Amino acid sequence: MRRDYFSLEFLDADEVDRDESGVRTLVIEFDGPSDLLTERLTDADGELLDGSEIDAAFRFQSPDREEGVFSITNRINGDFVLEANARPDDVVAFVDAVRETDDDEDGDYRIVVDADGERRVTYDKRTLLVYDHEGSLLRQDSLIPGGVEL
């Protein structure tokens, strides 16, 4: 699925978005064929993937940290669900904001995917892994719950 079908919505670094319940929220807008999105968001049985079945990650695309890609993958089969170009400063601000507001320092946040003005799926997540341009995990820049071994 093409990256240009997706866009991430963030507010300024000082005001990272929260949904109506106060949870830090990353909104992904889909602007492509609806049936393609539905296919990617469902499992082999046609059921929507839930938060425990997906992983969220961000990787820098260059050593200067000027470009990056946010992705969601299917944890069960490893397939990409979606990829979207993302501004690294926005992702760093999001991670920092989640850390600042998290009571137990594990990093709870929400990902929502919208298409055609309609909410398609909501994922409550604790982990967001951040990688450098060579694919090495940047632990200090990631949201990793305590007790999780990688």
Name the one residue in this structure whose structure tokens are 């409550």: 124
As separate numbers, helices (DSSP H) first and strands (DSSP E) second, the chain gives 2, 8
In this prediction the pTM is 0.85
Total residues found in the chain within this entry: 150
Give the pLDDT confidence score for residue 137 in this predicted structure.
Answer: 96
The whole-chain average pLDDT of the chain stands at 85
- Delimit the domains of the chain by residue range: 3-141
Cβ-contact 101, 93 below 8 angstroms: no
C-alpha to C-alpha distance for 114 and 122, rounded to whole angstroms = 9
pLDDT tens digit sequence for 91-112: 998 898 888 875 554 558 899 9
Tell me: pLDDT of 33 over 50.
yes
- Give me the percent of the chain exceeding a pLDDT of 90: 57
Tokens of 142: 């990631």
C-alpha to C-alpha distance for 46 and 86, rounded to whole angstroms = 29
Beta-strand relationship, 80-86 and 68-74: antiparallel
Tokens of 56: 């969220």
Beta strand spans in 61-101 (E): 68-74, 80-86
- Confidence grade of residue 135 (pLDDT, cut at 50, 70, 90): very high
Average pLDDT over residues 26-50: 91
Question: Measuring CA to CA, which residue among 17, 31, 3 is closest to residue 94?
Answer: 17
Tokens of 20: 């109506």
- Confidence grade of residue 1 (pLDDT, cut at 50, 70, 90): low
Beta-strand relationship, 25-30 and 6-9: antiparallel
